[in-house]
Structure 1
Amino acid sequence: MTLRLRVSFPDRPGALGQVARVLGTLGADILQVTVLERETGRAVDDFIVSWPGAPDSAAIRERLLAVPGLRVEGVWSTRESPGSAPDYDLLRHVAADPARAYPTLVDAVPDLVGAEWAVAVSAGGELVHRSWQAPAGLEETGSLVGVKVADLTSLRPSVLAAGPYRLMSLPVPGAALHVVLARTEGPPFHRAEVDRACRVLEIVSVIAASA
């Protein structure tokens, strides 16, 4: 199984090596490390690892906490394929058929930021597009997964929680749409994930406007 682990630890020489050694003793094969943050003397990194058998999240957390000063922010399964370039693939498909820019975006963008599904919502609260992974029955009068649509259509990118969901809401430049991404596993979306999704969304909106 492929897992994503998000950890925060003191940004000092050798700390990353300690995390890698603990993962190695647990039998994990580190496939990719992504630096999300280096501020105020701490680092926040995402590890994509290949895990033998069924992972025990509690045991993973317990062993990692042996590293002094480390905090485990999330352990969750991922569809991400290290070494691939899903953002480039998404943009290539959008450029090939600009008329379907937003449906293509909604289907593909979850894999860019470790989300499970995405939808596009109009300013009036209509569910315009949904990814194939999105659960059935999302539509409710004036709300989506228990959150008022008005709270998902802010003028700026936002992150929030609703029940089991961690949500990211992104306004689409030049269109009366918001793209909303969700996951039930893992921590809230990090600002680095929000920034990545926003950059891709900006390019998609330019391509869509040219259709």
Structure 2
Amino acid sequence: MLLRLRVSLPDRPGVLGQVARAFGVMGADILQVTVLEREAGRAIDDFTVSWSAVFSSDELRDRIGVVPGVKVEAAWPTREAPGANPDYDLLGHVAAEPGRAVLTLVDAVPDLVSAEWAVAVDAGSGEVVHGSWQAPETLQSARLTAPRATAFSEGTLNLLSVPIGDLCLVVARRQGPAFHRAEQDKVTRLVGVVSVLAHAGASR
């Protein structure tokens, strides 16, 4: 299975190697490391690992956390296969069928940020216009249609809302951590490119 772990670690030589060895001892094969931030002597990295699930995810998290100064903030399943380039595939589909741009974006974006589902919400009424697989048919939150990109939590549900014309793209993750600002930036830029491609396609 594929697992994503968000790890906070000291930003100094050798620590990443220690973490990699700890993953190896647990039987987890590191497929990708994404640096989310580096500041004040610490880094936050997302590790995507292939893992046989001999241990529970909690055990894996606890054992990686024994490396001095390392803290595993979250561990959750992911469908984001490294090297698959789903963001390029998304943009290719949007360019080919610009009239379906929002639908394509909603269906694809959960896999791009290891989320569970996404919806397009009418910014005026708050009604769900389109939802990806596993998305609820209705949502109730005044924060879903914020005028700018916003990441927030409601109970155990972590949400990211990004305006797209008269709609808002809402992405949700229950099993993983709150959306990091790097993930928010990624989705915001993706929405911008999709909007440009959809507009250009409609003008042809």
TM-score bin, normalised by smaller chain = over 0.9
Q: Is the 1:8–1:43 Cα contact (8 Å) retained in structure 2? A: yes
Aligned residue number for residue 197 of structure 1: 187
2-structure distance, mates of 1:128, 1:205: 17
Aligned partner of 1:209 among 195, 199, 203: 199
Q: TM-score, normalised by structure 2?
A: 0.94
Q: Is the 2:122–2:129 Cα contact (8 Å) retained in structure 1? A: yes
1-structure distance, mates of 2:168, 2:53: 39
Q: Is the 2:75–2:176 Cα contact (8 Å) retained in structure 1? A: yes
1-structure distance, mates of 2:135, 2:51: 26
Indicate the larger mover: 176-185 or 162-171: 162-171
2-structure distance, mates of 1:105, 1:28: 31
1-structure distance, mates of 2:7, 2:130: 33
Indicate the larger mover: 75-84 or 126-135: 126-135
Q: 1:98 to 1:55 in 2, by over 3 A?
A: farther
Aligned residue number for residue 130 of structure 2: 129
Q: Cα deviations across residues 64-122 of structure 1 (Å, max 9, x unaligned)?
A: 12111111111001101111111100000000000010000000011111111100001
Tell me, which stretches of 5 or more residues in structure 1 are unaligned?
Answer: none
Q: TM-score, normalised by structure 1?
A: 0.91
Aligned residue number for residue 26 of structure 2: 26
Shift of 1:132: 2.2
Q: How does 1:36-185 map to 2 (within 5 A)?
A: 36-123=36-123, 124-135=125-136, 138-139=137-138, 144=139, 147-148=140-141, 150-172=142-164, 175-185=165-175
2-structure distance, mates of 1:95, 1:133: 26
* RMSD between superposed Cα atoms in Å: 1.2
Q: Is the 1:101–1:204 Cα contact (8 Å) retained in structure 2? A: yes
Q: Cα deviations across residues 148-193 of structure 1 (Å, max 9, x unaligned)?
A: 2x31111111111122211000011xx1110000011111011111
